[in-house]
A = this chain, B = another copy of it.
């Protein structure tokens, strides 16, 4: 339900645009009765609407407990150039992150922290994967998103925009505490690796700094989404 509402909100705001445009809304009678505003909003935004059976809605969905409503959209990802236009000051780069739930959660967190762009670099999950869309809680429709297989090209593009590249690295030399505030004030692209393996060394070495979230207790590490939250909010604080 939540991603559908966000897709419609996007359609209302940018009805002429082609990115993430809603083409069709399929919903069951039960959902239409419970949420009459959905059809009105879809109509107003020029979206085709069709009532379907529970069975058809379930067939269109990939979840175990389908919600009875499905929106068909064009993809939201844009090319790297387009995503990085407009002098971004905070960019999230997910390098080789294959888990859709993790990717969606980091997209949501990036949105919350005020990131301007999210880039999925390397061999990464398709952000349109249903699990990623749901974990993003609609943020997939809020933050410009690019997917690009060539990690080096992504790093070159970020650097050409004047962004400082910070690799999130549990063994990094730079500690993310009050001492890092000056560093964080610059426009920044954070590079995050996969949950299982972290950033590969070749990518981390191309960053300006390898930064670690301090571990004050006895945990070995944070998980990807929580580490990204701490890093991105540290930047948000320093930028304000």
Contacts and interface: CB of A to CB of B under 8 A. Distances in A.
A221 interface: yes
B230 A216 contact: no
Interface string A86-113: 0000000000000000000100111111
Interface stretch (A42-50, A74-82, A138-146, A182-190): A138-146
Copies in the complex: 2
A227 B109 CA distance: 9
Contacts of A114: 216-217
* Majority DSSP secondary structure for residues of A touching B: loop
Interface in A218-239: 218-223, 225-230, 233, 236-237
Interface of A: 105, 108-115, 137-139, 142-143, 177-178, 213-223, 225-230, 233, 236-237, 240
17 contacts: A108-B219, A108-B223, A109-B222, A109-B226, A111-B219, A112-B215, A112-B217, A112-B222, A112-B226, A114-B217, A137-B219, A137-B221, A138-B220, A139-B219, A143-B217, A229-B230, A230-B233
